[in-house]
Structure 1
């Protein structure tokens, strides 16, 4: 009877629900300031329910990051489906804007970027891999545009992908820090249009 009761309590929250609650805790208290006890209390489950899905707090954080990264990458891929390279670069900017404006836990991103660099190698590796995939996706778009004759032959896809990433995601971080005053949409859209003007092939 006791085992059945515990199984019910463990199943009260799905793995995805627990990662969502964990993100809320990490956003509010930081990774170091969040304990498994705190997450369990917020979720209304036992610690055993947490450990049923995750081996420890780091594994829970890794799952939370994976969920957010997967969601973002899926949105980018869907937005670019069927678009020419120039329009795809615009759409990626719009996805970044929409993602930032719909993100109710901006501190989660900032906290991870700061805390994980020195102390959480697994999380830092996840974030690094995400950024590399994002740059590679952009690089492939730019290379495709060059092959199609949309972009100039002398553009460097690797450098442009890095510049796009630092400009757009850098603007996103500034928006998280000062959402009331930072002209986020105008900054991102303006950068992309200037970039396209600069790399567009002459007609």
Structure 2
């Protein structure tokens, strides 16, 4: 449950239903604005206007524009991680990397606003730790080889970096060309990944 510092500074308290609903609304509006217009154009005034509120009301819930954008970024990342995580958890260990690739591309194709929000936030607000991007996939790659009884092969970090870059390129192409077939691209990437991983 989210908490908010009380105005008097006496401690944290749970958000009321209305406060949580308003924060959720502001996060949704911010995702839409940043995805549609970019970080620079998503001012506090525009966020407030899109939500039908005053800037003061936005600042009641978030300390600054960067705080709203950071919350919106966290929201889309949490949705992505939950979706991809569920697909990976449902797959056998040796199929988990394929599930990861398919669902990562699938989620970002289905939610282009999330893809744009992640890109804008990474460029303008929150530059993530590079290791945090490749380490989870590298662990899946190691586990997949172990599940098939294979000795260590290609460096999992290198393979994870290559796959991550390919996913970024596929999604970037889809953002530029809505007709680009990301499902076929995901299958091609899975084929290349499994060739590198298991042969």
Please indicate, yes or no, whether the TM-score normalized by the shorter chain is above 0.5: yes
CA distance in 1, matches of 2:108, 2:165: 15
Which digits, 9 at most, give the CA deviation of each residue in 1:77-133, with x for residues without a partner?
A: 1111142233111211221232123215254344445xx2xxx4xx232xx23x633
Q: Which residue of 2 aligns with 1:177?
A: 176
Q: CA 1:20 to 1:132, structure 2 compared with 1: closer, same or farther past 3 Å?
A: farther
2:68 to 57, 60, 79: 60
Determine which of 91, 114, 127 is the counterpart of 1:83. 91
Inter-partner Cα distance in structure 1 for 2:191 and 2:42 = 42
Alpha-carbon deviation of 1:151?
A: 4.5
RMSD: 2.4
TM-score of the aligned structures, taking structure 1 as reference length: 0.79
TM-score by length of 2: 0.80
Residues 1-34 of structure 1: per-residue CA shift (max 9 Å, x gap): xxxxxxxxx8495212111101112222222222
1:1-203 alignment to 2 at 5 Å? 11=19, 13-105=21-113, 106-113=115-122, 116=123, 120=124, 123-125=125-127, 128-129=128-129, 132-180=131-179, 182-200=180-198
Structure 2 segments unaligned to the other structure (5+ residues): 1-17
How many residues end up aligned between the 2 structures? 182
Rounded to whole Å, the distance in 2 between the matches of 1:134 and 1:174 is 20
1:42 Cα deviation after fit: 0.9
CA distance in 2, matches of 1:134, 1:191: 18
Give the gaps of 5 or more residues in structure 1.
Answer: 1-9
Whole-angstrom distance in 2 between the partners of 1:97 and 1:20: 22
**Deviation of residue 53 (structure 1)?**
1.1
Contact 1:142 1:151 in 2 (8 A): no
Instruction: Flag as ranges the 4+ runs of structure 1 deviating above 6 A.
Output: none
| Residues 42-97 of structure 1, C-alpha deviations (whole Å, 9 max, x = no match) | 10112222111110101111111011111111112111114223311121122123
Q: Give, in whole Å, the separation in 1 of the partners of 2:102 and 2:94.
A: 13
